[in-house]
Structure 1
């Protein structure tokens, strides 16, 4: 159990400082969505969303949007793939 926690802490340290455009590169977005950038993707969903209030957008409605506009079934799947590609 402590080994898993140590790995999680290390990932959190590394990913906690990664900007979204490093995870969701233009190449990633073009390959996996109908958009050229994460900004375009999110603003198409709701142009009032900013990096400060993005967490409020997350939920079923956003998951449906992700499913309709990407190769992923929900936001968590998309985020997980972006992180895998980054690592």
Structure 2
């Protein structure tokens, strides 16, 4: 029997990936701060934080209810004008995908 070079390392990485995937299974509560990191905001928007993006649109958000009260069409227009995304949904989906990828490979 012979050993394939690198197989043990590959196997360890697969086990780690599987463990991380199990942790992500189901519903996850993720804060905007975790989703919209400084790196994400600088890469895709004109701002370094999600709070700055809200302030630039004159949105006053002190609670989840405040955020939910922003009309979708108004927020989509703001997102389209100050980010690389065409809608809030697109921005949220990209941030979520990047968060999942980061968690899988940490």
TM-score by length of structure 1 reads 0.79
Q: Do residues 59 (structure 1) and 85 (structure 2) align?
A: no
Question: Which of 70, 74, 86 in structure 1 is aligned with 2:87?
Answer: 74
Tell me how many residue pairs correspond in the alignment: 75
Which deviates more from structure 2 when the two are superposed, residues 57-66 or residues 67-76? 57-66
Q: Do residues 83 (structure 1) and 106 (structure 2) align?
A: no
Q: Structure 1: which 5+ runs fail to align? A: 1-8
Deviation at 1:47, TM superposition (A): 4.3
Q: Do residues 40 (structure 1) and 55 (structure 2) align?
A: no
Task: Flag the structure with more relative contact order, 1 or 2, with Cα contacts below 8 A and sequence separation at least 6.
Answer: 2
Deviation at 1:19, TM superposition (A): 1.1
Structure 2 equivalent of residue 20 of structure 1: 32
Aligned alpha-carbon RMSD (Å): 1.4
Residues 18 and 77 of structure 1: is their aligned pair in 2 closer, same or farther, counting only changes over 3 Å?
same
Q: Structure 2: which 5+ runs fail to align? A: 1-24, 101-106
Q: Which has the larger radius of gyration?
A: 2
- Conserved 8 A contact 1:49-1:57: no
